[in-house]
Amino acid sequence: MLGVNKSTLYYVPVPVCQRDVDIMALLDKKYTDRPYYGVLRMTTYLQEDEHCVIGKDHVRTLLRRMGIMALFPTRNLSRPNPAHRIYPYLLKGVAVTRANQVWSIDITYIRLAHGFAYLVAVIDWYSRRVLSWRLSNNMESGFCVEALEESMALYGKPEIFNSDQGSQFTSESFTSRLLKGNVRISMDSRGRAYDNIFVERLWWSVKYEDIYLHGYQDIPDCKSGLGRYFRFYNAERRHQALGNKTPWEVYSAGMA
């Protein structure tokens, strides 16, 4: 009567096995160091350096589960939703000279002792300040929308908002928030994550200065730890690129 397939009613999602979680942890650390490694190089790394018996198809499956792709021009790997509008990249040659001129957003994989999570953050390009962040156990758009809404509620709105072409950021639920605020939407070229380089640098810092050091057990543990880290990152961690000032200092001065 409902038109629902019988197999759907009885299907129970199969959890990721511990072996795959361990391999994903290895892939995450190597990708953080070598973001240009694709499936073949990752497979070779696992087989030779980690003595892991694994094929390239399995490596490809795990990388897709993690939301990872190599940073070089590619075809059809960013996998945007074909039903969603893709916006042009607006930041080529643009001088970013003030706070709230350009914001960016991105998602990264976070390894945990028992499983994994996804971290999204909104960052101000001028100051490198992390404006908001969220953790999620899936890649749906909801936690990205929450991070965006919190940023705009606390700090107003940017002139330009930049992201990649992921379906979370091209969804109507996400872009409508920006369009209602008359924010210009910019999206990276497919396979060009370095267009969003400031967020990529943030992920390296987060993982080496916090995630890899603490080995968080689960999402609540990780959420608590990341809260401490981002407070340190914004208010205490000095950046050479910012004249040895903190993101909070530069953001505040840029708003004056």
Interatomic CA distance for residues 226 and 210, integer angstroms: 8
Q: Name, in order, each residue with C-beta under 8 angstroms of 125's C-beta and a sequence gap of 6 or more.
A: 96, 101, 102, 103, 104, 162, 198
Q: Which helix (H) or strand (E) holds 203?
A: helix 197-206
Q: Which helix (H) or strand (E) holds 104?
A: strand 102-112
- Written as tens digits, the pLDDT of the chain (256 aa) is 555 555 444 545 567 888 999 999 999 999 988 888 999 999 999 999 999 999 999 999 999 998 887 765 443 334 555 667 899 999 988 999 999 999 999 999 999 988 899 999 999 999 999 999 999 999 899 999 999 999 999 999 999 999 988 889 999 999 999 999 999 999 987 545 555 678 888 999 999 999 999 999 999 999 999 999 999 999 999 999 899 999 999 999 987 6
